[in-house]
Chain A
Amino acid sequence: MTLEHIRPESLHDLLKAMDTADYTLFAGGTDLMIRKRQWQGASRRFEEPIAFINQLKELRGIEDLGDHYRIGALTTQEEMATSGILPDYLRDPYHQMATLAIRNIATVGGNIINAASVGDSLPLLMALDAEVVLESLAGERTLPVTELIIDKYRTRRKSNEILTRVMIPKEDFTGYYYKKLGQRKASILSKLSIILLYRKKETLEDLRIAVGAVNDKPVRLPAAEKTLLATGDLAGYLKSLSEAFESADDKRSTKEYRETVSLALIKQELEKLFS
Protein backbone atom coordinates (compact mmCIF):
# COMPACT_ATOMS: atom_id res chain seq x y z
CA MET A 1 0.00 0.00 0.00
CA THR A 2 1.34 3.39 -0.94
CA LEU A 3 0.39 6.22 1.30
CA GLU A 4 0.21 9.55 -0.34
CA HIS A 5 2.67 11.54 1.74
CA ILE A 6 3.65 14.92 0.35
CA ARG A 7 6.39 17.40 1.15
CA PRO A 8 5.54 20.62 -0.70
CA GLU A 9 8.22 23.23 -1.29
CA SER A 10 5.90 26.23 -0.92
CA LEU A 11 2.86 27.29 1.07
CA HIS A 12 0.92 27.73 -2.15
CA ASP A 13 1.64 24.14 -3.25
CA LEU A 14 0.54 22.93 0.18
CA LEU A 15 -2.74 24.90 0.06
CA LYS A 16 -3.49 23.55 -3.42
CA ALA A 17 -2.99 19.98 -2.20
CA MET A 18 -5.09 20.62 0.92
CA ASP A 19 -7.89 21.94 -1.26
CA THR A 20 -8.33 18.55 -2.94
CA ALA A 21 -7.63 16.05 -0.15
CA ASP A 22 -7.48 15.80 3.65
CA TYR A 23 -3.94 15.79 4.93
CA THR A 24 -2.64 15.47 8.45
CA LEU A 25 -0.19 18.36 8.76
CA PHE A 26 3.15 17.27 10.16
CA ALA A 27 5.48 20.02 11.45
CA GLY A 28 8.14 19.13 14.06
CA GLY A 29 6.42 15.83 14.81
CA THR A 30 7.14 15.61 18.53
CA ASP A 31 3.52 14.64 19.18
CA LEU A 32 2.70 12.75 15.97
CA MET A 33 5.82 10.55 15.97
CA ILE A 34 5.02 9.40 19.50
CA ARG A 35 1.33 8.86 18.88
CA LYS A 36 2.21 6.58 15.96
CA ARG A 37 5.11 4.78 17.57
CA GLN A 38 5.68 1.14 16.79
CA TRP A 39 8.32 -1.47 17.33
CA GLN A 40 11.98 -0.62 16.97
CA GLY A 41 13.05 0.00 13.41
CA ALA A 42 9.56 0.20 11.90
CA SER A 43 8.45 3.23 9.94
CA ARG A 44 5.72 5.16 11.69
CA ARG A 45 2.44 3.86 10.32
CA PHE A 46 0.34 6.83 9.33
CA GLU A 47 -2.98 5.53 8.04
CA GLU A 48 -3.90 8.91 6.58
CA PRO A 49 -2.01 11.01 4.02
CA ILE A 50 0.59 13.23 5.64
CA ALA A 51 1.77 16.63 4.48
CA PHE A 52 5.24 17.35 5.84
CA ILE A 53 5.48 21.13 6.27
CA ASN A 54 8.57 21.78 8.40
CA GLN A 55 10.59 22.93 5.37
CA LEU A 56 8.27 25.90 4.64
CA LYS A 57 10.63 28.72 5.60
CA GLU A 58 7.96 31.37 5.04
CA LEU A 59 6.16 30.07 8.15
CA ARG A 60 9.12 30.69 10.41
CA GLY A 61 10.38 33.60 12.47
CA ILE A 62 9.63 36.14 15.18
CA GLU A 63 8.98 39.78 14.31
CA ASP A 64 8.20 42.86 16.35
CA LEU A 65 5.58 44.81 14.39
CA GLY A 66 5.23 47.69 16.83
CA ASP A 67 1.91 46.92 18.48
CA HIS A 68 2.20 43.13 18.28
CA TYR A 69 4.59 40.24 17.81
CA ARG A 70 4.14 38.16 14.71
CA ILE A 71 5.21 34.54 15.23
CA GLY A 72 5.45 32.14 12.28
CA ALA A 73 3.70 28.85 13.03
CA LEU A 74 6.86 26.81 12.42
CA THR A 75 8.97 28.86 14.83
CA THR A 76 10.40 26.39 17.34
CA GLN A 77 9.67 26.52 21.03
CA GLU A 78 13.40 27.00 21.70
CA GLU A 79 13.45 29.99 19.33
CA MET A 80 10.67 31.46 21.51
CA ALA A 81 12.52 30.60 24.73
CA THR A 82 15.76 32.27 23.61
CA SER A 83 14.42 35.13 21.47
CA GLY A 84 16.17 38.46 21.88
CA ILE A 85 12.95 40.24 20.85
CA LEU A 86 10.39 38.70 23.21
CA PRO A 87 9.78 39.69 26.86
CA ASP A 88 10.39 37.25 29.72
CA TYR A 89 6.70 36.57 30.31
CA LEU A 90 6.63 34.98 26.84
CA ARG A 91 10.04 33.31 26.92
CA ASP A 92 9.80 31.76 30.37
CA PRO A 93 6.77 29.48 29.78
CA TYR A 94 8.28 28.28 26.50
CA HIS A 95 11.59 27.59 28.24
CA GLN A 96 9.80 25.40 30.77
CA MET A 97 8.19 23.26 28.09
CA ALA A 98 9.61 19.75 27.52
CA THR A 99 13.41 19.61 27.14
CA LEU A 100 15.95 21.33 24.91
CA ALA A 101 16.05 18.47 22.35
CA ILE A 102 12.25 18.59 22.03
CA ARG A 103 11.98 22.39 22.06
CA ASN A 104 14.50 22.46 19.19
CA ILE A 105 11.98 20.74 16.90
CA ALA A 106 8.55 21.29 18.49
CA THR A 107 6.75 24.27 16.97
CA VAL A 108 4.60 27.11 18.24
CA GLY A 109 1.80 26.27 15.79
CA GLY A 110 1.95 22.56 16.61
CA ASN A 111 1.37 23.13 20.32
CA ILE A 112 -1.70 25.23 19.48
CA ILE A 113 -3.28 23.02 16.81
CA ASN A 114 -2.57 19.82 18.76
CA ALA A 115 -4.75 21.48 21.43
CA ALA A 116 -3.81 19.07 24.20
CA SER A 117 -5.34 19.98 27.54
CA VAL A 118 -1.76 20.10 28.86
CA GLY A 119 -0.42 22.30 26.04
CA ASP A 120 1.53 24.83 28.08
CA SER A 121 1.45 27.60 25.49
CA LEU A 122 -2.36 27.78 25.45
CA PRO A 123 -3.05 29.50 28.81
CA LEU A 124 -0.29 32.00 28.01
CA LEU A 125 -1.67 32.82 24.57
CA MET A 126 -5.22 33.06 25.90
CA ALA A 127 -4.12 35.42 28.67
CA LEU A 128 -2.39 37.59 26.06
CA ASP A 129 -5.49 37.75 23.79
CA ALA A 130 -3.37 36.23 21.02
CA GLU A 131 -4.91 35.54 17.63
CA VAL A 132 -4.05 33.02 14.96
CA VAL A 133 -4.24 33.41 11.21
CA LEU A 134 -5.71 30.45 9.33
CA GLU A 135 -5.08 30.31 5.60
CA SER A 136 -6.62 28.27 2.82
CA LEU A 137 -6.68 28.66 -0.95
CA ALA A 138 -9.78 30.85 -0.44
CA GLY A 139 -7.91 33.34 1.73
CA GLU A 140 -7.15 34.15 5.36
CA ARG A 141 -9.20 34.50 8.50
CA THR A 142 -8.17 35.56 11.98
CA LEU A 143 -9.42 33.90 15.15
CA PRO A 144 -8.60 34.48 18.81
CA VAL A 145 -6.81 31.45 20.31
CA THR A 146 -9.60 31.18 22.85
CA GLU A 147 -12.13 30.68 20.02
CA LEU A 148 -9.88 28.42 17.98
CA ILE A 149 -9.63 25.88 20.80
CA ILE A 150 -12.88 23.96 21.32
CA ASP A 151 -11.61 21.47 23.89
CA LYS A 152 -9.10 18.66 24.21
CA TYR A 153 -7.55 17.93 20.78
CA ARG A 154 -10.32 19.84 18.96
CA THR A 155 -10.04 23.16 17.17
CA ARG A 156 -12.11 25.22 14.72
CA ARG A 157 -9.45 24.86 12.02
CA LYS A 158 -11.02 23.47 8.84
CA SER A 159 -9.30 20.60 7.07
CA ASN A 160 -8.21 22.82 4.15
CA GLU A 161 -6.73 25.47 6.45
CA ILE A 162 -3.28 25.84 7.95
CA LEU A 163 -2.32 28.00 10.89
CA THR A 164 0.32 30.29 9.39
CA ARG A 165 1.09 32.72 12.20
CA VAL A 166 0.26 33.87 15.69
CA MET A 167 -0.31 37.54 16.49
CA ILE A 168 0.45 38.49 20.08
CA PRO A 169 -0.49 42.02 21.21
CA LYS A 170 2.39 43.83 22.94
CA GLU A 171 1.53 44.91 26.47
CA ASP A 172 3.52 46.89 29.01
CA PHE A 173 3.06 44.45 31.85
CA THR A 174 5.10 45.37 34.91
CA GLY A 175 5.22 41.80 36.18
CA TYR A 176 4.09 38.22 35.78
CA TYR A 177 3.79 34.98 37.70
CA TYR A 178 4.19 31.63 35.97
CA LYS A 179 3.97 28.34 37.80
CA LYS A 180 3.95 24.91 36.22
CA LEU A 181 3.52 21.93 38.50
CA GLY A 182 4.28 18.31 37.67
CA GLN A 183 5.93 15.20 39.01
CA ARG A 184 9.41 16.65 38.55
CA LYS A 185 10.90 20.00 37.57
CA ALA A 186 11.68 19.41 33.91
CA SER A 187 10.41 17.30 31.05
CA ILE A 188 6.92 16.86 32.45
CA LEU A 189 3.33 17.13 31.42
CA SER A 190 1.68 19.66 33.71
CA LYS A 191 -0.67 18.71 36.51
CA LEU A 192 -1.58 22.37 36.36
CA SER A 193 -0.05 25.61 35.13
CA ILE A 194 -0.87 29.19 36.04
CA ILE A 195 -0.03 32.37 34.22
CA LEU A 196 -0.78 35.72 35.81
CA LEU A 197 0.11 38.93 33.99
CA TYR A 198 -0.32 42.41 35.40
CA ARG A 199 0.44 46.07 35.04
CA LYS A 200 0.73 47.77 38.40
CA LYS A 201 1.83 51.38 38.72
CA GLU A 202 0.09 53.57 41.32
CA THR A 203 -2.73 51.10 41.14
CA LEU A 204 -3.35 47.78 39.47
CA GLU A 205 -4.31 48.71 35.90
CA ASP A 206 -4.41 45.39 34.08
CA LEU A 207 -4.68 41.81 35.24
CA ARG A 208 -4.96 38.53 33.30
CA ILE A 209 -5.17 35.07 34.79
CA ALA A 210 -5.28 31.74 32.97
CA VAL A 211 -5.07 28.20 34.29
CA GLY A 212 -3.92 25.29 32.12
CA ALA A 213 -4.18 21.48 32.38
CA VAL A 214 -7.13 21.56 34.80
CA ASN A 215 -10.06 21.62 32.37
CA ASP A 216 -9.93 20.19 28.83
CA LYS A 217 -9.40 23.77 27.69
CA PRO A 218 -7.45 26.38 29.69
CA VAL A 219 -9.64 28.51 31.95
CA ARG A 220 -9.71 32.27 31.64
CA LEU A 221 -12.56 34.44 32.94
CA PRO A 222 -12.23 37.94 31.40
CA ALA A 223 -15.46 39.26 32.95
CA ALA A 224 -14.49 38.07 36.44
CA GLU A 225 -11.01 39.62 35.92
CA LYS A 226 -12.63 43.00 35.18
CA THR A 227 -14.83 42.76 38.28
CA LEU A 228 -11.81 41.80 40.38
CA LEU A 229 -9.84 44.75 39.02
CA ALA A 230 -12.70 47.14 39.74
CA THR A 231 -13.73 45.84 43.17
CA GLY A 232 -10.70 44.03 44.59
CA ASP A 233 -13.04 41.23 45.61
CA LEU A 234 -10.58 38.32 45.76
CA ALA A 235 -13.03 35.87 47.27
CA GLY A 236 -15.58 36.60 44.54
CA TYR A 237 -13.03 35.97 41.78
CA LEU A 238 -11.79 32.76 43.36
CA LYS A 239 -15.38 31.56 43.73
CA SER A 240 -16.02 32.16 40.00
CA LEU A 241 -12.82 30.31 39.18
CA SER A 242 -13.64 27.34 41.37
CA GLU A 243 -17.09 27.13 39.74
CA ALA A 244 -15.45 27.13 36.30
CA PHE A 245 -13.16 24.21 37.13
CA GLU A 246 -14.27 20.83 35.82
CA SER A 247 -11.21 18.68 36.29
CA ALA A 248 -11.16 14.90 36.60
CA ASP A 249 -8.89 12.34 38.20
CA ASP A 250 -6.40 10.90 35.73
CA LYS A 251 -2.94 9.33 35.68
CA ARG A 252 -1.20 12.66 36.20
CA SER A 253 -3.18 14.04 39.12
CA THR A 254 -6.54 14.27 40.84
CA LYS A 255 -9.37 16.74 40.52
CA GLU A 256 -8.97 17.75 44.15
CA TYR A 257 -5.22 18.40 43.89
CA ARG A 258 -5.44 20.40 40.68
CA GLU A 259 -8.29 22.63 41.79
CA THR A 260 -7.19 23.14 45.40
CA VAL A 261 -3.60 23.96 44.46
CA SER A 262 -4.59 26.25 41.57
CA LEU A 263 -6.88 28.27 43.82
CA ALA A 264 -4.31 28.42 46.63
CA LEU A 265 -1.51 29.63 44.35
CA ILE A 266 -3.67 32.25 42.66
CA LYS A 267 -4.99 33.45 46.02
CA GLN A 268 -1.44 33.81 47.30
CA GLU A 269 -0.37 35.87 44.27
CA LEU A 270 -3.50 38.02 44.28
CA GLU A 271 -3.06 38.83 47.96
CA LYS A 272 0.43 40.15 47.17
CA LEU A 273 -0.87 42.19 44.25
CA PHE A 274 -3.81 43.73 46.14
CA SER A 275 -1.92 44.43 49.37
Chain B
Amino acid sequence: MTMVSFIVNSKPVTLETDLSRRLLDVLRDDLGLTGTKEGCGEGECGACQVYLDGDLVNSCMVPMANVIGKSVLTIEGFSETEAYRQIEAAYIEEGAVQCGYCIPGMVMATGALLRSNPHPDLEAIKDGLSGNICRCTGYQTIFKAVERASKEEVKK
Protein backbone atom coordinates (compact mmCIF):
# COMPACT_ATOMS: atom_id res chain seq x y z
CA MET B 1 0.00 0.00 0.00
CA THR B 2 1.20 3.47 -0.86
CA MET B 3 -0.03 6.95 -0.04
CA VAL B 4 -1.04 8.67 -3.24
CA SER B 5 -2.09 12.27 -3.82
CA PHE B 6 -4.01 13.57 -6.78
CA ILE B 7 -6.89 15.88 -7.64
CA VAL B 8 -10.47 14.81 -8.27
CA ASN B 9 -13.00 17.32 -9.56
CA SER B 10 -10.78 20.23 -8.42
CA LYS B 11 -10.36 18.87 -4.87
CA PRO B 12 -7.05 17.46 -3.60
CA VAL B 13 -7.29 13.84 -2.42
CA THR B 14 -4.77 11.71 -0.53
CA LEU B 15 -5.43 8.05 0.18
CA GLU B 16 -3.68 4.75 0.77
CA THR B 17 -3.93 2.24 -2.04
CA ASP B 18 -2.12 -0.34 -4.17
CA LEU B 19 -0.27 1.23 -7.08
CA SER B 20 -1.83 -1.37 -9.40
CA ARG B 21 -5.39 -0.62 -8.26
CA ARG B 22 -7.65 0.76 -10.97
CA LEU B 23 -8.62 4.44 -10.95
CA LEU B 24 -12.18 3.22 -11.63
CA ASP B 25 -12.33 1.34 -8.31
CA VAL B 26 -10.87 4.24 -6.33
CA LEU B 27 -13.42 6.64 -7.84
CA ARG B 28 -16.41 4.37 -7.19
CA ASP B 29 -15.49 2.53 -3.98
CA ASP B 30 -13.23 4.94 -2.08
CA LEU B 31 -14.65 8.26 -3.23
CA GLY B 32 -18.29 7.29 -3.87
CA LEU B 33 -18.24 8.81 -7.35
CA THR B 34 -20.56 6.24 -8.92
CA GLY B 35 -21.42 8.24 -12.02
CA THR B 36 -18.43 6.55 -13.66
CA LYS B 37 -19.60 3.06 -14.68
CA GLU B 38 -17.88 -0.26 -15.19
CA GLY B 39 -18.95 -2.02 -18.38
CA CYS B 40 -16.49 -4.39 -20.01
CA GLY B 41 -13.52 -3.75 -17.73
CA GLU B 42 -11.15 -4.09 -20.67
CA GLY B 43 -11.11 -0.75 -22.45
CA GLU B 44 -13.66 -1.55 -25.16
CA CYS B 45 -16.93 0.02 -24.02
CA GLY B 46 -16.05 3.47 -22.68
CA ALA B 47 -18.57 3.46 -19.79
CA CYS B 48 -15.74 4.27 -17.34
CA GLN B 49 -14.31 7.25 -19.24
CA VAL B 50 -12.99 10.25 -17.31
CA TYR B 51 -10.49 13.02 -18.07
CA LEU B 52 -6.95 12.57 -16.78
CA ASP B 53 -5.08 15.89 -16.99
CA GLY B 54 -7.72 16.84 -19.55
CA ASP B 55 -7.32 13.74 -21.74
CA LEU B 56 -10.13 11.22 -22.23
CA VAL B 57 -9.12 7.84 -20.72
CA ASN B 58 -10.76 4.56 -19.72
CA SER B 59 -10.43 4.52 -15.92
CA CYS B 60 -10.55 0.69 -15.92
CA MET B 61 -7.14 0.66 -17.63
CA VAL B 62 -5.38 3.25 -15.49
CA PRO B 63 -3.52 2.06 -12.37
CA MET B 64 -3.21 4.49 -9.45
CA ALA B 65 0.56 4.65 -10.10
CA ASN B 66 -0.28 6.67 -13.20
CA VAL B 67 -2.66 9.03 -11.40
CA ILE B 68 -0.23 10.37 -8.77
CA GLY B 69 0.04 14.15 -9.03
CA LYS B 70 -2.53 14.31 -11.79
CA SER B 71 -5.97 15.84 -12.08
CA VAL B 72 -9.06 13.69 -12.66
CA LEU B 73 -12.39 15.05 -13.86
CA THR B 74 -15.36 12.65 -13.59
CA ILE B 75 -18.88 13.05 -14.90
CA GLU B 76 -19.80 14.58 -11.51
CA GLY B 77 -17.19 17.33 -11.95
CA PHE B 78 -17.89 17.76 -15.65
CA SER B 79 -21.61 18.22 -14.91
CA GLU B 80 -20.82 21.57 -13.27
CA THR B 81 -19.54 23.05 -16.52
CA GLU B 82 -21.34 24.96 -19.25
CA ALA B 83 -19.98 22.52 -21.86
CA TYR B 84 -21.75 19.70 -19.99
CA ARG B 85 -25.07 21.54 -19.76
CA GLN B 86 -25.04 22.08 -23.49
CA ILE B 87 -24.37 18.38 -24.17
CA GLU B 88 -27.01 17.30 -21.63
CA ALA B 89 -29.65 19.53 -23.22
CA ALA B 90 -28.85 18.13 -26.66
CA TYR B 91 -29.03 14.50 -25.45
CA ILE B 92 -32.43 15.19 -23.83
CA GLU B 93 -33.74 17.05 -26.86
CA GLU B 94 -32.79 14.20 -29.22
CA GLY B 95 -34.00 11.44 -26.88
CA ALA B 96 -30.49 9.97 -26.97
CA VAL B 97 -30.70 8.21 -23.60
CA GLN B 98 -32.41 4.87 -23.05
CA CYS B 99 -31.09 2.71 -20.20
CA GLY B 100 -28.43 5.34 -19.57
CA TYR B 101 -25.57 3.10 -18.49
CA CYS B 102 -23.24 4.18 -21.32
CA ILE B 103 -24.23 7.83 -21.09
CA PRO B 104 -21.65 9.15 -18.58
CA GLY B 105 -18.92 7.79 -20.88
CA MET B 106 -20.71 9.00 -24.02
CA VAL B 107 -20.98 12.49 -22.52
CA MET B 108 -17.28 12.55 -21.54
CA ALA B 109 -16.32 11.40 -25.05
CA THR B 110 -18.66 14.00 -26.58
CA GLY B 111 -17.02 16.70 -24.45
CA ALA B 112 -13.54 15.59 -25.54
CA LEU B 113 -14.58 15.53 -29.19
CA LEU B 114 -16.19 18.99 -29.15
CA ARG B 115 -13.17 20.45 -27.40
CA SER B 116 -10.78 19.27 -30.12
CA ASN B 117 -13.24 19.67 -32.99
CA PRO B 118 -16.10 22.11 -32.20
CA HIS B 119 -17.97 21.39 -35.44
CA PRO B 120 -17.50 17.72 -36.32
CA ASP B 121 -19.19 16.15 -39.34
CA LEU B 122 -20.88 12.75 -39.02
CA GLU B 123 -17.66 10.80 -39.75
CA ALA B 124 -15.76 12.78 -37.12
CA ILE B 125 -18.59 12.15 -34.62
CA LYS B 126 -18.45 8.41 -35.30
CA ASP B 127 -14.67 8.48 -34.94
CA GLY B 128 -14.89 10.46 -31.69
CA LEU B 129 -17.39 8.01 -30.17
CA SER B 130 -15.80 4.86 -31.60
CA GLY B 131 -14.58 3.86 -28.12
CA ASN B 132 -18.08 3.91 -26.61
CA ILE B 133 -20.57 1.09 -26.88
CA CYS B 134 -24.34 1.52 -26.41
CA ARG B 135 -26.60 -1.52 -26.57
CA CYS B 136 -29.93 0.34 -26.57
CA THR B 137 -30.04 3.20 -29.00
CA GLY B 138 -28.43 2.06 -32.23
CA TYR B 139 -26.39 5.28 -31.91
CA GLN B 140 -28.38 7.43 -34.37
CA THR B 141 -29.98 9.61 -31.69
CA ILE B 142 -26.61 9.96 -29.97
CA PHE B 143 -24.96 11.14 -33.21
CA LYS B 144 -27.79 13.66 -33.61
CA ALA B 145 -27.34 14.84 -30.04
CA VAL B 146 -23.62 15.46 -30.58
CA GLU B 147 -24.41 17.34 -33.77
CA ARG B 148 -27.01 19.43 -31.93
CA ALA B 149 -24.62 20.16 -29.08
CA SER B 150 -22.00 21.32 -31.60
CA LYS B 151 -24.45 23.82 -33.07
CA GLU B 152 -25.46 25.44 -29.80
CA GLU B 153 -23.80 28.75 -29.09
CA VAL B 154 -21.13 28.28 -26.45
CA LYS B 155 -22.20 30.26 -23.44
CA LYS B 156 -19.27 31.46 -21.43
Contact = CB atoms under 8 A, between A and B. Distances in A.
A85 interface: no
A84 to B, nearest CB: 14
A105 B46 CA distance: 14
Contacts of B57: 101, 104-105
A101 B49 contact: yes
A54 B56 contact: no
Nearest to B112: A100
A102 B41 contact: no
A100 B66 contact: no
A34 B55 contact: no
Contacts of A111: none
Contacts of A98: 43, 131
A29 B66 contact: yes
A43 B18 contact: yes
Contacts of B29: 41
B44 interface: yes
Interface string B22-65: 10010001000000001001111010010010011110111101
Contacts, number: 98
Contacts of B131: 98-102, 186-187
Contacts of A5: 18-20, 65
Contacts of B42: 34, 37
Contact of B130 (A7, A34, A54, A186): A186
B41 A40 contact: yes
Given A5-B19, A41-B25, A105-B66, A29 B61 contact: yes
Interface residues of A, number: 30
Interface string B71-83: 0000000000000
A100 B19 contact: no
- Residue with the highest number of chain A CB atoms closer than 10 Å, among B25, B38, B58, B109: B58
Given A33-B43, A55-B66, A101-B57, 5 more contacts: A33-B62, A34-B42, A44-B21, A100-B109, A102-B131
Interface of B: 18-22, 25, 29, 38, 41-44, 46, 49, 52, 55-58, 60-63, 65-66, 68-69, 109, 112, 126-128, 130-131
27 contacts: A7-B19, A26-B63, A28-B61, A29-B62, A29-B66, A34-B43, A37-B42, A41-B29, A43-B18, A44-B20, A44-B21, A44-B63, A50-B19, A52-B63, A99-B46, A99-B131, A100-B56, A100-B130, A100-B131, A101-B49, A101-B57, A102-B58, A105-B62, A185-B126, A186-B126, A186-B131, A187-B44
